[in-house]
Amino acid sequence: MAKIADCWARAIESFSAGKFVDANLCGAAQVMLQNNPLTGLLFLAGIAWGAVSAGMPQVAIGALVGLVGATGSATYIGVDDPSLRSGLYGYNGLLIGVALPTFLKANPLLWVYLVFGAAVSVVVMLAIANLAKAWGISALTSPFVLTTWILLIATHGFTGLRILSLPQPGFPQIPVAASAPALDGEWVIRAVLLGVSQVFFIGNVVAGVIFLGALVVSSIWAAAFALAGSMLAIIVALAVGTDLNAVATGLFGFSPVLTAIAIGTVFYTPQPRVVVYAIMGTIFTVIVQAALDIAVMPFGIPTLTAPFVLATWLFLLPRRDFAPVRHVVGSGGALHDN
């Protein structure tokens, strides 16, 4: 793998557009908090597979357009080069690119809307990053969530953009209890893989496998926490009695997957206490998901990755390093932190 990385590093320096291509691929990888161009390439391949299999090639096209649009806008604005090269200004555009064609009907105006939204996500990223810096946290996918919510709510007042699959605005209703599904191996495996694939709004088992393989390329720990996060989300969702169809199709899994990766492998070093902390964060993400599903119902919009953002922010703000605190004996035998 190291040889492949070295070859790629040499290749991108050999042609003028190499750095831009690399930034875009890293941007795709950053959707799941990775910084690896091969991972990004596999993510794009998984999106293409899932979108075409579902008869919605516009989603795959939108992913590429949004990614390139956001990265190009960031380049034009003149953001700092290390962040640009790491893909930190591209992933929100990619997510906007898959979200809008998923929820809105494709027409020429949609593509203009998509490109504009991807460009705006760069500005929103800069704004939120400046605010988050004071708290010592990352923007995560909050620019995508905020930008997409505004774009989708606005479509309710536009005639040029037609809704394809947005939920109807309404008030919360008391859920009807449903019988538990037969939890055979096939059902569980499918639900776990769909929980991973739904990070990209793709409901496809093969795509889920591709996404996990892409994570392995970058970090085995990330892949392990993604699987564990999806499985834990299923267990918690079934235990509290959420919508069975949402659980089966992975809609209760994608935010917990991201939370598990973020807390378990990205912002903290994997160790026993971090695992427990990540489990707490993942479980809380499921609860936040249920709460936000109700909260956004009157607006007729999906929660997107907002549960991941809110839960992860709350679990990052304590700034725990989970390293043993060293004590030294001071005068009089008093213990002091070192």
Q: Which of 2-16, 140-154, 157-171 has the least mean pLDDT?
A: 2-16
pLDDT of residue 173: 73
pLDDT of residue 170: 82
DSSP lists the bridge partners of residue 335 as 329
Q: Which of 101-105, 134-138, 193-197, 291-295 has the least mean pLDDT?
A: 134-138
Tokens for 53, please give them.
Answer: 């299999």
Please tell me if the domain spanning 15-166 has the same topology as the one spanning 172-320: yes
**Dihedral angle, C-alpha 44, 50, 52, 57, nearest 10 °:** -60
CA neighbor of 118 nearest in space, from 41, 60, 65: 65
High-pLDDT (> 90) share of the chain, %: 78
pLDDT tens track for 73-92: 999 999 999 999 999 999 99
pLDDT of residue 334: 45
Residue 336: pLDDT over 50: no
High-pLDDT (> 70) share of the chain, %: 87
Mean pLDDT of 251-270: 96
From residue 317, alpha-carbon distances to 118, 136, 138, 320, 323 in Å are: 28, 7, 10, 8, 16
Tokens for 63, please give them.
Answer: 């992913």
Residue 337: pLDDT over 50: no
Domain ranges in the chain are 15-166, 172-320
CATH architecture classification, 172-320: Orthogonal Bundle (1.10)
pLDDT of residue 294: 94
Q: What is this structure's pTM?
A: 0.91
pLDDT tens track for 31-55: 999 999 999 999 999 999 999 999 9
- SS3 annotation, the chain: CHHHHHHHHHHHCCCCCHHHHHHHHHHHHHHHCCCCHHHHHHHHHHHHHHHHHCCCHHHHHHHHHHHHHHHHHHHHHCCCHHHHHCCCCCHHHHHHHHHHHHHECCCHHHHHHHHHHHHHHHHHHHHHHHHHHCCCCCCCCHHHHHHHHHHHHHHCCCCCCCECCCCCCCCCCCCCCCCCCCCCHHHHHHHHHHHHHHHHCCCCHHHHHHHHHHHHHHCHHHHHHHHHHHHHHHHHHHHHCCCHHHHHCCCCCHHHHHHHHHHHHHCCCCCHHHHHHHHHHHHHHHHHHHHHHHHCHHHCCCCCCHHHHHHHHHHHCCCCCCCCCCEEECHHHCEEEC
The vertex-327 CA angle with 323 and 331, nearest 5°, equals 165
Residue 101: pLDDT over 60: yes
pLDDT tens track for 167-218: 888 887 766 655 656 678 899 999 999 999 999 999 999 999 999 999 999 9
Residue 327: pLDDT over 60: no
Residue 329: pLDDT over 60: no
CATH code for the domain defined by 15-166? 1.10.3430.10
Q: What is the torsional sign of CA 10, 11, 17, 21? A: negative
CA neighbor of 93 nearest in space, from 58, 126, 117: 117
pLDDT of residue 298: 93
Mean pLDDT of 111-134: 96
Residue 122: pLDDT over 60: yes
Q: What is the torsional sign of CA 59, 233, 132, 23? A: negative
pLDDT of residue 177: 58
pLDDT tens track for 279-289: 999 999 999 99
